[in-house]
Amino acid sequence: MAAGGSGRASCPPGVGAGAGSLGPSANAAAAPSNAAACAPVPPPPPSPPPGPGTDAQAVGDERDDAGPGALLREPVYNWQATKPTVQERFAFLFNNEVLCDVHFLVGKGLSSQRVPAHRFVLAVGSAVFDAMFNGGMATTSTEIELPDVEPAAFLALLKFLYSDEVQIGPETVMTTLYTAKKYAVPALEAHCVEFLKKHLRADNAFMLLTQARLFDEPQLASLCLESIDKNTADAIAAEGFTDIDLDTLVAVLERDTLGIREVRLFNAVVRWSEAECQRQQLQVTPENKRKVLGKALSLIRFPLMTIEEFAAGPAQSGILVDREVVSLFLHFTVNPKPRVEFIDRPRCCLRGKECSINRFQQVESRWGYSGTSDRIRFSVNKRIFVVGFGLYGSIHGPTDYQVNIQIIHTDSNTVLGQNDTGFSCDGSASTFRVMFKEPVEVLPNVNYTACATLKGPDSHYGTKGLRKVTHESPTTGAKTCFTFCYAAGNNNGTSVEDGQIPEVIFYT
Q: Is the dihedral of CA 124, 116, 139, 180 positive or negative?
A: positive
Query: What is the pLDDT at residue 404?
Result: 93
User: CATH 2.60.120.820 occupies which residues in the chain?
Assistant: 355-507
- Whether the upstream peptide bond of residue 439 has omega within 30° of 0, thus cis, is no
Q: Are 367 and 460 in contact (CB under 8 A)?
A: yes
Q: What is the CATH number of domain 80-199?
A: 3.30.710.10
CATH 3.30.710.10 domain range(s) in the chain: 80-199
Neighbour-count burial for 217-240, b at 16+ CB within 10 Å, e otherwise: beebbebbbebbbbbbeebbebeb
Q: What does the pLDDT read at residue 41?
A: 39
- pTM equals 0.57
pLDDT in the model for residue 474 = 85
Fold of 355-507: Jelly Rolls (2.60.120)
Count of CB atoms within 10 A of residue 456's CB? Answer: 19
User: What is the separation of C-alpha 478 from the centre of its chain, rounded to a whole number of angstroms?
Assistant: 29
- Count Cβ atoms within 10 A of the Cβ of residue 53 and give its class: 0-12 exposed, 13-18 middle, 19 or more buried: exposed
d(CA 438, CA 234): 19
Residue 365 exposure: Cα atoms within 13 Å on the Cβ side:
11
Burial 119-132, CB ≥16 within 10 A → b, else e: bebbbebbebbbbb
**pLDDT for res 337:** 73
DSSP 389-412: EEEE-BSSSSEEEEEEEEEEETTT
Residue-level pLDDT at 331: 87
pLDDT attached to residue 340:
87
Rg (CA), the chain: 33
Residues of the chain with pLDDT below 70 are 1-75, 348-351
Per cent of the chain over pLDDT 70 is 84
The Cα 303–Cα 437 span in angstroms is: 9
Burial class (CB in 10 A: 0-12, 13-18, 19+), 51: exposed
pLDDT digits (tens, 9 = 90+) for 37-87: 333 334 444 443 343 333 333 334 444 444 444 454 455 788 889 999 999
**Helices 246-253 and 205-214: angle between axes, nearest 10 degrees:** 110
